[in-house]
Amino acid sequence: MQTAGYSLSGLILSLLLLAVPVEAGELVVSADFPGGSAEVLKVDQQTRSITVCPAGDPQFGWPCWWYFKVSGIKPGETLTVSVDASNLKQANGSKLSANWALPERAAFSLDRKTWKQTGSGTREEDHCRWTQQVDAEQAWFAWGPPFVPSDAQTLVDRLSRKHEDVTAFELCKTRAGRSVPALVLSPDGKHSDDRMVIWIQARQHAWESGGSWVGRGFIEWAVSDDPLAVALREKVDIYYVPIMDIDNVATGNGGKNQIPHDHNRDWSEMPRWNAVQAAMKALKQFDKQNRLVMFVDLHNPGASSKQPFFYIAPPELNTQRRKALQDNFIAICREEMQEPLKLDRSTPSTGPKYDKRWKEISSNWVRSATREHVVGITLETCWNTPHSHPQGYMTVGQQLGRGIARYLKQDPRQSPALD
């Protein structure tokens, strides 16, 4: 007897197999993939608990980033994931605060595409523990939602294929030979010396993955049908770099304060990092053409920050005109950035007391090396909140885009000099 192409006995056997419960396998932890970082300290098969610590090399930046895969899961079971951050060291041997490595909520995914947050963890000194039900045979856990080199390449390629005004290009090859993907958004055939240029970049510090998600939110908004985005594209060329420190993102290292210095302390007459050198060259050319009007560097701040904020120009690099333009831009962004992450009214600066290499910070270099009407600024988007997930980050990026578009309704190159 046949039923819809299947034998009755075969159908019964299939139903019986479906009814057999899936046995819990042996939990296996691995981090041998791009962006992965974890040293396994303990796996308890009976309690279904895992303890790891970040495995980054301090020579390549703060070892606060962690990202690993767990396989052997019985779908539906609850895992306990713990991170031990008690022995984190900086390159000079001094202790790195565990706060940098222990978010209140960890990121997790069942497919490395959709990232969600766990519930609040349980913090005990330099350790944190999270519990999470996993409805799959494998899962990935991370400090925050990862955004690795392949994500950057996929993003610029996808937008380039979908939108005729978008062109993907390679900013440079890194010292290790990796490609740094980038794109330019400019209407075909409208390139001219009259069009303004803005430059948006993320991840000069590799561990700050939220910056790339904010950048993705911005650039996907910029190609959208939002009337403000359409108006922005009519008069502005947008250059976007999703990840500046590709090498440390790929190897799972932190990047911040690496030896001899990180990307955001490299904006000097002789830059060490190829991505910085390429960005500086392009920015100088745009400024020479009197086209550059804005530079935005995307970062994540410390664990205690609960709202996004801008780092502004220190008094040593300010003029009355530059300050007026900067203040106008921030005021507009404050109107746009309301929910879910409201822009903080605090606007610290990056002057001599901030860092001994303060002049080599990217936004400071822009302020000192380009024309007075150029706004050079750093946006720090908080990573330790219930909204510090891909959608929350991308919403900040969209709001940043609207703020830029409203600010550039009037050409800042034409604004009168202030006495």
Rounded alpha-carbon distances, angstroms, from residue 1 to 6, 12, 17, 320: 9, 13, 21, 89
The tokens describing 65, both together, are 């980033």
Domain 28-142 is found in CATH 2.60.40.3120: yes
pLDDT(105) > 80? yes
pLDDT value for 187: 86
pLDDT(84) > 70? yes
The tokens describing 185, both together, are 């958004």
CATH code, residues 149-414: 3.40.630.10
Inter-residue contact 106 to 54 (CB < 8 Å): no
pLDDT value for 189: 55
User: The tokens 């830059």 sit on which residue?
Assistant: 271
Select from 123, 129, 154, 150 the least CA-distant residue to 141. 129
Cβ neighbours of residue 397 under 8 Å, at least 6 residues apart? Answer: 213, 214, 215, 216, 217, 218, 219, 220, 221
pLDDT tens track for 282-316: 999 999 999 999 999 999 999 999 999 999 999 99
Alpha-carbon distance 201 to 214, whole Å?
Answer: 10
pLDDT(19) > 60? no
pLDDT value for 5: 44
Cα 99 to the center of its chain, rounded Å? 19
Select from 257, 262, 255, 303 the least CA-distant residue to 35. 255
Alpha-carbon distance 299 to 289, whole Å?
Answer: 28
Helices (H), 96-236: 149-162, 210-222, 227-235
pLDDT(52) > 80? yes
The tokens describing 250, both together, are 């790929």
pLDDT tens track for 205-240: 999 999 999 999 999 999 999 999 999 999 999 999
pLDDT(26) > 50? yes
pLDDT value for 263: 98
pLDDT tens track for 53-82: 999 999 999 999 999 999 999 999 999 999
DSSP string of 278-310?
HHHHHHHHHHHTT-EEEEEEEE---TT--S-EE
pLDDT value for 191: 57
Q: What confidence tier does 20 reach under pLDDT thresholds 50, 70, 90?
A: very low
Assess whether the region 28-142 and the region 149-414 belong to the same CATH fold: no
Output DSSP code: residue 127.
Answer: E
pLDDT(47) > 80? yes
Inter-residue contact 378 to 297 (CB < 8 Å): yes
Give the full edge-to-edge strand order of the sheet including 49-53.
39-44, 49-53, 77-84, 127-134, 122-124
Alpha-carbon distance 69 to 38, whole Å?
Answer: 9
Domain residue spans of the chain: 28-142, 149-414
pLDDT tens track for 247-295: 999 999 999 999 999 999 999 999 999 999 999 999 999 999 999 999 9
pLDDT value for 244: 98
pLDDT(14) > 80? no
pLDDT(418) > 60? no
Cα 222 to the center of its chain, rounded Å? 17
pLDDT(370) > 90? yes
pLDDT(396) > 90? yes
Per the prediction, the chain carries an average pLDDT of 93
pLDDT value for 188: 66
Tell the burial category of 159 from Cβ atoms under 10 Å away from its Cβ (0-12, 13-18, 19+).
Answer: buried
Q: What is the mean pLDDT of residues 139-159?
A: 98
pLDDT(3) > 90? no
